[in-house]
Structure 1
Amino acid sequence: MSNNPMTDLHHLSVAQLAAALRGKQVSATEAAQHFLARAKAHQNLGAYVALNEEATLAQARAQDAALAAGTAAPLAGVPIAHKDVFVTRDFPSTAGSKMLAGYRSPFDATVVTRLANAGCVTLGKLNCDEFAMGSANENSAVAPVGFDAPAPVRNPWDTDRIPGGSSGGSGVAVAARLAPAVTGTDTGGSIRQPASYCGITGIKPTYGRASRYGLIAFASSLDQAGPMARSAEDCALLLSAMCGPDPDRDSTSLDMPAEDFSVRLNDSLEGLRIGIPAEFFGDGLASDVRAAVEAALKEYEKLGARLVPISLPRTELSIPVYYIIAPAEASSNLSRFDGVK
């Protein structure tokens, strides 16, 4: 960091920012104010749909007190923003839909609670395709912060291009340095695709690893919460805080204890086998995407991994099956928002 930490905060990783907070180089309140100011300064991107400065700064002051008392959690003071399908007490929860306009949840989603318990400070809620159905983030019915009407989220690298979806606001917030870390949800690619389009890192965990309690459902047997940040290390730190069984609230959560996913980040890849499905490299794969994937695979080989050709012969059925399961479950889940129940 430079002599003026405040000018560098949005360039720091989650790990670096957590260390700076523990080292008293910056306060949680200063970090929150810095990222709130960036969110307001870059409203043109349409990433945020709700801010609550009073609630954010109250959380930050509480983390400053914990840091001063030596009782702080591992991510104390690290700002985070949540995709607007996670319900939150201090912010509206709309899932990008007019059907939930003005809704305030009386409780936080389990993932939100666990990240708060790890010390994270909530900056606000992030734009998404309505009910997480989309891959471009052009289909939100909620006006972003600073807008009078709904507007598409803009890719910060080229505002004429889409950021991917449905977690487009999440991807943009990280890529544009409007938050060091965010949450997203993935039903059929809604974390992984915007992470790719925005040039960041996103993880869809194994189904059941993170509780779905408080996650406004699209397709219950497919939806999964996950982290989005700038690196594998940052995502591992977030995932460690997010995951763990939640049997009293989510019967589909796995009975597997929380763990530190960051401990093996520097393990050797010597001997690791990576399966390369032939069906993933067929017709329809863009030449630039092929080149990027093959370049990454060469790096894995240099690091000691072994590439193993495999076949997944039913790959062509994956999209048709998805479009049977997802719409059927969406129909069931969204029937509750009929204005009566």
Structure 2
Amino acid sequence: MTSELTDLGIAAIRAGVRAGDFTAREVAEGFIAAVAAAKPLNAFLVETPDHALAAADAADKARAEGAPMGSMAGVPIGMKDLFCTEGVATTAASGILDGFVPQYESTVSANLWRAGAGMLGKLNMDQFAMGSSNETSAFGNVVSPWRRKDGGNAPLAPGGSSGGSSAAVSARLCPGATGTDTGGSIRQPAAFVGISGIKPTYGRCSRWGTVAFASSLDQAGPMARDVRDCAIMLGAMAGFDAKDATSLDLPVPDWEAGLSSDLKGKRIGIPKEYRVDDMPGEIDALWEQGIAWLKDAGAEIVEVSLPHTKYALPAYYIIAPAEASSNLARYDGVRYGLRDLPDGAGLQDMYAATRAAGFGAEVKRRIMIGTYVLSAGFYDAYFTQAQKVRTLIARDFEAAWESCDLLLTPTAPSAAFALGEKSADPLAMYLNDVFTVPSSLAGLPAMSVPGGLDKDGLPLGLQIIGPALDEQGVLNAGLAIEERAGFTARPQRWW
């Protein structure tokens, strides 16, 4: 029974627990066993079976007593290690936070526990969410559960920075997981492993208690098996939070209840600038297939232009490192985490030694880039110009919404690549975000849904982008693609 339960998604688990088909404890025990048996994936940094079982017992008790049950009652999930969890180690996969145990709960995780979810553990990730392959973690690479069908055993990247989340959901270690998306860190890993993931409008989910990378871009969202599960989980995560100055003071819609794959009357824009040079034929073919699927759902297809798209990636890799260099200045070895104090060292020496030992190479690279573009003499030449470009990109989207309701693009320029294949070339790695960064800069909701497999049997994703606050439209278009794609592929167990 337990192995069958791990094949269920969020909606199916919730329905089964409420109907009494099985208990929440049976569900939790099944997933706890799956997590324990999946060490080769290195998806979990910390396992918290007691937390998952306590939430499951509370759900079973509520059902037995006929008490109200939350939208996530009986559902155990994985928590990306960027969210502070009271009494449970939170490191952002960085050595500089080694030993840090928060005495408070992030708003997003608190919302999920209030909705009845239980925590199976903290998920591995790229260090401080900086990476696209989950190779920058201080605690080792996450390995994708997928393998190329030709029998090649090269370990593949699960995407990043939410690589532990993507690997865990795809491998059936949890039915859903939290992710964060600064420039594509929910959508790209979701595409790499054949699951769904949505980045909501900036401000929908509170950033309070989430370890910061780039504060004007960071946004939490769910990663799950399908669109409905994402809608359920996002509804539990979102909401106004007075502790976050960027939180949107708006009611949370019932996105699950509003799901509809009927797109009659909707106009779907195809941005011509996203047809990049050297794009693999399989990506372009999937894009054309996605267009056909949306037409079949009743949508009208129109071509649109987002003329400043080519500047999005360079602008992002100025703005995000600049904000990171400011945010990461707080890690100094004085108050919490790692402290490296050489014999006879003074305060400045301790700062330098701690940061040198605690931060990984990619984090150091971005801190140095950010410090440079914020320095006197370069601030106006780089940071100010990038902010202007960001405004122009947002205006491009605003102009596009006059002729369409949503946009359809590929999620990533390729399928998953082998670990180590791009880590020596930062620019090649940064290009993974070419389709996801523009909507992040504009703060728009965007979602990846699986559309098919490439010639090697690896998943490929399609991305839907919507206007601010139109998560419903994005989810509905995602559902239309999901129903027509009929994607049921899953990784063959090797771990």
TM-score by length of 2: 0.65
CA RMSD in angstroms comes to: 1.2
Alignment equivalent of 2:156, drawn from 131, 142, 161: 161
Look up the SS of the partner of 1:57 in the other structure. helix
CA displacement 1:42-88 (0-9 Å, x = unmatched):
11011100012223322222222122222221221101111000000
Corresponding residue number in structure 2 for 1:195: 190
What does 1:1-341 align with in structure 2 at a 5 Å threshold?
4=1, 6-71=2-67, 72-142=69-139, 151-158=140-147, 160-247=155-242, 249-341=243-335
Deviation at 1:323, TM superposition (A): 0.8
Structure 1: segments with no counterpart, 5+ residues: 143-150
1:256 corresponds to which letter in structure 2? L
Cα distance between partner residues in 2 of 1:291 and 1:89: 46
Deviation at 1:172, TM superposition (A): 0.4
1:108 aligned counterpart, secondary structure: coil
Contact 2:202 / 2:219 at 8 angstroms: preserved in 1? yes
Between the aligned partners of 2:51 and 2:255, the Cα distance in structure 1 is: 30
Partners of 2:162 and 2:287 in 1: CA distance: 22
Deviations 1:116-172 (A, max 9, x none): 111111110000000000000011002xxxxxxxx2111111261111000000000
TM-aligned CA deviation for residue 7 of structure 1: 3.2
Regions of 4+ moved over 4 Å: none
- Percent identity of equivalent pairs: 50
Give the whole-Å Cα distance in 2 for the aligned partners of 1:68 and 1:181.
25
Q: CA deviation at 1:267?
A: 4.9
Alignment TM-score, normalising by the size of structure 1: 0.94
Distance of 2:191 and 2:116 partners within structure 1: 28
Q: Is the 8 A contact 1:67 1:76 kept in 2?
A: no
Task: Give me the whole-angstrom Cα distance separating, in 1, the residues matched to 2:88 and 2:58.
Answer: 18
Q: Tell me, yes or no, if the aligned pair for 1:217 and 1:223 is still in contact at 8 Å.
A: yes
Cα drift, residue 287 of structure 1: 1.4
- Please say which structure displays the higher CA radius of gyration: 2
The one-letter code matched in structure 1 to 2:253 is: E
Tell me, yes or no, if the aligned pair for 1:51 and 1:91 is still in contact at 8 Å: no
CA–CA distance in structure 2, aligned partners of residues 70 and 117 of structure 1: 18
Name structure 2 gaps, 5 residues minimum: 148-153, 336-495
- Residues 52, 90 of structure 1: 8 Å contact kept: no
Which position in structure 1 is the counterpart of 2:463? none
- Structure 1 distance, partners of 2:79, 2:300, is 37
Q: In structure 1, what is the Cα distance between the partners aligned to 2:66 and 2:36?
A: 32
Amino acid aligned to 1:50: V
One-letter amino acid of the counterpart of residue 74, structure 2: G
Distance 2:265 2:286 in 1: 23
